[in-house]
Structure 1
Amino acid sequence: MNQVKGLQKERTALSWLRTQLVLFGIGIILFRFSMSHANPIIFVASIFAMLVACSCTLSRSKYIKLIVSTVIFLLASTYILQMTSQFFK
């Protein structure tokens, strides 16, 4: 196989950039939801998500990226639970 050295690092960096954009997008969605429903817990979670996404951009640590992945999962789960709870009222 004819592979160019160094492309793996570039692909990894691009995949983390997509992850950070997803986290920031989830933060924006949660922020809009918290404004329309006056939910302070969701508001704090949205601000936290956007701050973590921004801080991950400045960090190269593997632990920060593990935390980001965990935060994305928790925020997405919170959003899904919040949205589905409206159907069961």
Structure 2
Amino acid sequence: MTLEYWKDYSSYRVIAKRSNISHTSCIRNIFLIENILIKSGIFNLPEKKDLTKNKGTNNNLLAIDDTETPIERIKKGNYPHMY
């Protein structure tokens, strides 16, 4: 289930349905496996301070566009009529 979740990023409900277990059990099982792997120390990501150190490698730039755009809504009274 954990591998399926990581591979497809399917919802917990879909994975639970495929595995024929409850939604809650699916979440618990995936979290359990993730925590075991994290505690093993093999699969940990580097710490933030390690990522910020320049180790003589190429510096990469990450840009994120977080511009807000207004939501287009139908104006009051302009709803399409269904006849």
| TM-based fold match above 0.5 | no
Higher Cα Rg, which structure: 2
